[in-house]
Each structure stands twice: as structure tokens, then as C-alpha cells.
Structure 1
Amino acid sequence: MAGLGVCLDVIQDHTFIGPHMSAVLTRTPVVTTFHDVGDRQRQIIYGGLREAVGTISVSDHQKSTLIGVRTDKRIYPGLPASLYEMSENKGYLLFVGRFSPEKGAETAIEAARRAKLPIILAGRIVRGQEGYFENCVKPLISDDVKYIGEISPKEKAKLISNSFALINTVKYDEPFGLINAEALLSGVPVISYRIGAFPEIIDHGRNGFLCDNIDDVISAVEALDTLDTGGIRRDAVQRFSLERMVSEHVEFYEEMKSRA
């Protein structure tokens, strides 16, 4: 870092410890992005960052969990909107995520069954938590509950665009939830629990639904026809595009340069 820093305007550091070492390694302004919600360990480590290090959170919710930690800027993650297309060929509900208890795949399956719609499950089985998949998910697989395993980004984009909705009923505080943005960029509504950063991403009744229990999830599935999928896509391009994310980063980098 010391050798490179001489010719750089700003260093974006995504490591855990690197920003603490920047004072002795470089005179170049350093920016770090927080990627997790704030447990006690992170509050202590991030709270010790020197003032010269610029800090970015990925959501207001994440910022609220980092008690005692300075956050200079909130920048939502962004994605290339051109990778995601709208489709009229809808045929199923969709769950995408790793198969571990906190991700709530069994809730998504129950919602699909009670709504009498097929659902596709895509994602990896977490090593060390195979028992969860074998005991809680596999017994529910049927003709209308299809598990397809891990998928490529291209396969995921197509799978999302052809779905009625993304069912993202996680059970823990996600700092953002990139899969939500992927769905919205495809004009696909998101149905989730009212948890973590999801209320920042999902505008209830406009681009999806925020739920408090499984009955709310069923009601949300039944109300999908009330949403404007074209409007969902247009709003997502404004809020979650790669161009918007880059522009906000560059603006903050310029601010950091002026501080140096």
C-alpha cells in the first residue's frame, strides 16, 4: 500500500484491519465500506478508526447498528441494470439464497403451497448445515417445489425475470440484501419480512410487500397483481443502478481528496 499510495488519489479498502494500518502505510486518503451489521466486536474495531479514514455504510439500518461508530456516507450497493430484463413469461415464485435456518426457505415453501403456486429454490447448501436441508427442506420438495442447486449469475437473472415474485423471508437483520435489488431491477416484486434494511428497499404496496407473519406473506402473494412491474423496474434503476453507486462513490472520493 505504501508503494502504491504515492500515485493514487484515494484507496478504497474493504478489509477489516487495513484501514487501521493506513496511518503508517500511506498518506493517501483511505475509504472503507462496512459490510455487516454491528455486533460488539465490530463496534469496537470500527469505532477505533481514525478521523482521516472515510467510512461508508450500505444502509441506514446498518448504520443504526454500528453504535459509537462514525459513518460519513450511506451508499446503497448498485448493479448493472442492463443485466436484468423484464419478462412476461411468469410461471413460479422464487427463493434464492443459501440453505441455512436463518434464510427461511421453509417459510417460502409454505407460502407457495398455501397460495397454490409452484416455487423454485436456488442456492448452495451450507457446509456444516446439511442437516437443515435434509430435515427441513428436502422433505418438502415435490413437483411444485423444485430445488435446482447453485446457479450462475446469468442463470439467476433469467430465473428472477420469469418469476411472479421473490420470496425473501429471512429471519435475521441483513445490512442490505443484494438479491432484493436484483429482483426489483427485473421488475419483480419482493415479499419479505419487516426486518433489517428491507424496509428501506421495499416500498410496501408499490414494489413489494413487508410482512410480519406467514399469513401476511400469503396475502402479499394474492395481491401481486396490484403492482406495476414497469414502475418497479424504473424505480430500481434510479435507486440501485451501478451508475448511481459509482457516482456517489466518486463524489465521496472527491470530498476525501479535499480533506487531505
Structure 2
Amino acid sequence: MRIAQIAPLWERVPPLGYGGIELIVGLLTDELVRRGHEVTLFASGDSQTLAQLEPICPQALRKLDENTTPHHLHNIYQTLQLNKILEQVNKFDLIHSHIGFPLFPYANLIKIPTVHTIHGIIPSAEETLWHSVKQQNFISISNAQRRHDLELNYVATVYNAINTKIFPVSNPDNPPYLAFLGRLSPEKGPHLAIDIAKQTGLPLKMAGKVDAVDRQFFEEQIKPFIDGKQIQFLGEADHQMKCELMGRAIATLFPITWPEPFGLVMIESMILGTPVIAMEMGSTREVIADGKTGFLCHTVEDCVTAVKQLETISRQDCRDHVMNKFSVQHMVDGYESVYQKLLQEKFIEDGQTRHLQHLKTLNLLSA
């Protein structure tokens, strides 16, 4: 298959630090190339890929100096990205978009099959827009993420994945500690992770990025508790830091306050052998095997109780769970199945169109 993959421009593919969407796009694209597909990746110019790279901007837009106008530049580069795709559209059998609604108007005009993986939640403010494109092809990254009230044409659920080969088997440190990894934002629950740590008396090591929109939250509700002893903040984590932070912890805390669409942190923790203590919201029930690879909770008090039950969890069970359900092979099998289904439907549709055109021609001739 000749496939176009469209990535966001905010991070490079794959990301050096935080960037879940770009990580998934990188894993998917490279594995498709290994399977013999002809793939073109439309992404930032500093991206690293086995596919043919169509660079849109010289580097990931998040690298821009804060004194520039990244929002303005993002609009410019995204327009350039869409123009490049449309110029080359006849080269492809299928387009796979990971950028959401910027492509929606064009997808109605493109004659080849187009599919969108939705990587986030759908805010209520955008519902009218989604209603207008509900006939397009959508892939959800968890069943919990689906918005059935919008009647979107979901063609499949394909779970995210990680490269299991680059996560080592790990054992917890002594003395023990808890880990938190993710954006330092209200919906990720770092303030609740601090509360859990204080109630258990265990140290908490935290890592993640602080976006500009979350700076006030961080300054007011996180920073005052960082003492460098019980509550430690390590900054934004690269892959090596992720492995050390979560692999050496007795548990990773995932006390989210929103309907998490997927949550890569959970599977990154479990592949290292570290169980996850999470709030039961969004996708967490689909990702964690409750009581086997972690615990699903409803309150901070539940999380504190779960910490006391960690000895019942097998670290090998955590690792096996990810290997059996969230490998790159599983994910790409799912996407390939979708591609084949859409191309088959297109073949049937084209055949019916040609048949109707032939009948019209016969009618004209007989007239």
C-alpha cells in the first residue's frame, strides 16, 4: 500500500521527550515500512523515520524561542502541510491523519480513502463541527474515548503501543518510592499524587513538562510541596529517565481527573514491571488489569489503600500484560486491518460506479 501519514508539527517524530501522538506515529510508520508498505510521513523536518519524510517546518514548533509567535507560525506551517498533501494526493492509496479537524474539510473532497485517529477527547465546544463530519472514517484509541452521542463513523478501536524491546526488566529501589510521570496539569492529577504520597509517608519522584497554560497551576499547587526530599521534581523526562523513574518505583501513580483517552504512561510503567495505581476514569479499565497489574480507584483514600496492597502484584504479570496486548505488532495489525477494509470498500464502490456508468452508456446507445 502507498500510505500518507500526517503528524502534528508541535513535536518531532518520534519525540525526544514528551509527545504521545508523535511517538505512536513514529512506531506505526516505521513498522509499516518494515512490512513492505510505501509510506510518506508529513511531519517536522527534524523527524527521524524509515519512511520518506516530507518536511513541513525545519524543526518541531515547540522548539521555537518563546519570543516568537508559535501559534501564528503553526497556522502557516499547517496550511503548508495540507497544501503539500493535496498536491501529492494521487500518489497514495490511503491517507491516515493524526491532526484532527484541520483535515476534515479536505477529506470530503479527497477521492482516496482517508481515516482519522483521534488522540484526544472531543470538547463540548467542538460538537457542532464533529456532527458535520460524522460520516468520515474515525479510529478510536480506546472504547471509552468514543462519543456515541455524536454518531461518528468509528471503523475500529486500535490501542496505542510501545516498543517493548527498549524497556528493560527493572526492580524497585530500597527504600521504596512512588513515581509520577506526565504533564503537570490538573487533569493528570499531580496534586493528588502528592496527597497520596503524604498520606502513605512514601517519597514521590515526579517528572513531566509544564505547559504555559499550566504554569499557574504548577506554581500554586505543585511547586510549594517540592522539598527535594519527600516530594522531588526531576523535570521533563527522556526515555532513559522514564525507565529509571518508573522502573525503580514500587508503583506509578496515575490519579487522573479527566476521561483519559488512553494514557501511554500506564503501559510504559507496566512493561518495566511496575504496577499502576489509577483513578477509574476513561480508558484505565481497558489498560490496567485491576488487581493483577495495578489497582483502579475512585478516591485518594482508595489509592492509599492500594499502595498497601502492592505486594500482591507480580511484576512479571505487569510486563506480560503489555507484551500480550500493547505491542507495536498488535497496534499495526489493527491499523493494517482498517486500511484493507477501507480499500476493499473503495474497490467495491468504484466497481459499482463503473457498472452504473456502463448501464447509462447502454441506455444512451439504445435510445
Per the TM superposition, whether the score is higher than 0.5 is: yes
Residue of structure 1 in register with 2:188 after alignment: 103
Residue of structure 2 in register with 1:133 after alignment: 218
The answer to whether residue 68 in structure 2 is matched with residue 22 in structure 1 is no
Distance 1:119 1:251, change over 3 A: same
Residue of structure 1 in register with 2:156 after alignment: 73
Distance 1:10 1:43, change over 3 A: same
Distance 1:60 1:50 in 2: 17
Matches within 5 A, 1:74-223: 74-90=157-173, 91-142=176-227, 143-223=229-309
Q: Is the 2:178–2:202 Cα contact (8 Å) retained in structure 1? A: yes
Task: Give percent identity, aligned residues only.
Answer: 27
SS at match of 2:292: coil
Q: Is the 2:196–2:304 Cα contact (8 Å) retained in structure 1? A: yes
Distance 1:155 1:75 in 2: 28
Distance 1:77 1:66, change over 3 A: farther
Q: Is the 1:37–1:66 Cα contact (8 Å) retained in structure 2? A: no
Q: How far off is 1:50 after superposition?
A: 6.5
The answer to whether residue 116 in structure 2 is matched with residue 32 in structure 1 is yes
Distance 2:139 2:154 in 1: 6
Q: Is the 1:184–1:232 Cα contact (8 Å) retained in structure 2? A: yes
Unmatched segments (≥5 aa) in structure 1? none
Distance 1:36 1:66 in 2: 16
Residue of structure 2 in register with 1:59 after alignment: 142
Distance 1:65 1:115, change over 3 A: farther
The answer to whether residue 331 in structure 2 is matched with residue 241 in structure 1 is no
Distance 1:245 1:41 in 2: 31
Q: How far off is 1:29 after superposition?
A: 1.0
Q: Is the 1:12–1:32 Cα contact (8 Å) retained in structure 2? A: yes
Distance 1:233 1:66, change over 3 A: farther
Residue of structure 1 in register with 2:28 after alignment: none
Length-normalised TM-score, structure 2: 0.66
TM-superposition CA deviations, 1:18-54 (whole Å, max 9, x none):
1331232x32211111122233344332333364x42
Count of aligned residue pairs for this structure pair = 258
Distance 2:134 2:216 in 1: 44
Q: Is the 2:134–2:152 Cα contact (8 Å) retained in structure 1? A: no
Q: CA RMSD in A?
A: 1.8
Q: Is the 1:169–1:193 Cα contact (8 Å) retained in structure 2? A: yes
Q: Is the 1:78–1:245 Cα contact (8 Å) retained in structure 2? A: yes
Structure 1, 128-137 or 9-18: larger mean CA deviation: 128-137
Higher RCO (CA-CA < 8 Å; seq separation 6+): 1
- Of residues 73, 86, 90, the one that matches 1:6 is 90
Structure 1, 198-207 or 11-20: larger mean CA deviation: 11-20
Distance 1:140 1:246, change over 3 A: same
Q: How far off is 1:140 after superposition?
A: 1.6
